[in-house]
Amino acid sequence: MFSEKNAKAGVTFPTGFKAAGVRAGIKKSGNLDLAVIYTEKEAAVAGVFTQNAVAAAPVYVSQEAVKSGTAHAVVANAGCANACTGEQGRKDAEAMASMAAKELGCKAEDVLVASTGVIGVNLPMDRVEQGIRQAVSELSETGSQNAGNAIVTTDTYSKACATEVEIGGKSVRFGAIAKGSGMIQPNMATMLCFITTDAAIESSLLQEALSEITEVTFNMISIDGDMSTNDMAVVLANGAAGNPVIREKNEDYRKFFDTLLAICTGLAQHIAADGEGATKFLTIDVKHARSFEEAKAVGMSVAKSPLVKTAFFGEDPNWGRVICAVGYAGVPMTPEKTVVEFGGIPVYAHGVGAKYDEEALRKVMSEHDIVITVDMGDGDSEATVWSCDFSYEYVKINGEYHT
């Protein structure tokens, strides 16, 4: 269901959405750094946000906007997180919404605000205002790619997708742009994700769907174990497709849910694979656990281990680091029941190391995509976590981030 065929169309693939990305001068690099997404037709809105107690000003502003159940626009910037900026930061975030609303002809309460970048720095509001005006003047049905590029920080590319599905006898479109590369650890990641759809759905059901889906997608990725101050994932549904409004969990809702799930799963995987300095994309499948929560705890323990991550960077099949992370995950486990596999090859089984074909395992460790399977042998539940390795480049990127 996750499609990149129309990825460039992104958030402007659904009917009625326009977007733009411009250079406002917030980033020192001079790259695109301010984006606006807009639908003239009022949209149902849903959002999920960072659980960090030190949340950034735009998070609070957008949470309030989501409570209303409707929205017309998103304005987002990169290069400055507007986090830990006190009362001035809150005023600046609110001003961003007001500036965009004035240019778009809607209410400030109908504009969501997002920021990403360096913490503890105030936004250059004169540049932000000029950038918003320019972005609104450049809004177009082909502006998604620039909008996606305007929200990235250390990403090597903007994540985007678009897909189409029939719901209620109508062709319904979905599109998305997202960023996320470092400081990735639920609950959520240093990620911004904006999803648009022309489906007609009640905001309460939209929120329920997004919250449920986030638990098994965006909350299942870890690049470095750090939780950001600015994360959010937002869905705008403007109903322009003309399908009967989804008001209950019927067949139409299931199609909507499955499509949104596929989109969020694909974006989560892309974010994990594009971790700062990453050379490996790691999928940790935990099986036969007693509950989803315990399976997730085990998967996250493996995903967050610096020793596991550096071993995979060095293509060293050091299964001892993996079973060690399983053992300290805080989940009851029986070593004699547990099996660990790398790329389908058992490396640890029932309390001891397993005999394996060294050449076959060497080939697995040299690949970009590697699956680590942990069979707990203790139940019927499972969970999948996505992560990446730690490379020299990760240290370099983060050692020089502020400078």
For the annotated catalytic residues, the residue numbers are 190
CA distances from 6 to 73, 119, 173, 196 (A): 22, 34, 11, 14
DSSP string spanning 234-255?
Answer: EEEE--TT-PPPB-SSSHHHHH
Question: Which alpha helices (DSSP H) does 68-202 contain, by range?
Answer: 86-104, 125-137, 144-149
55/48 Cα distance (integer angstroms): 13
CA 98 vs. chain centroid, Å, equals: 26
227/51 Cα distance (integer angstroms): 8
Residue 19, token pair as written in the block:
């977007």
CA distances from 290 to 145, 174, 186 (A): 43, 36, 22
Asked whether the CA dihedral 87, 47, 199, 220 is positive or negative, the reply is positive
- Contact between 2 and 163 (Cβ < 8 Å): yes
Residues 6+ apart with CB under 8 A from 276: 154, 181, 182, 223, 224, 393, 394, 397, 398
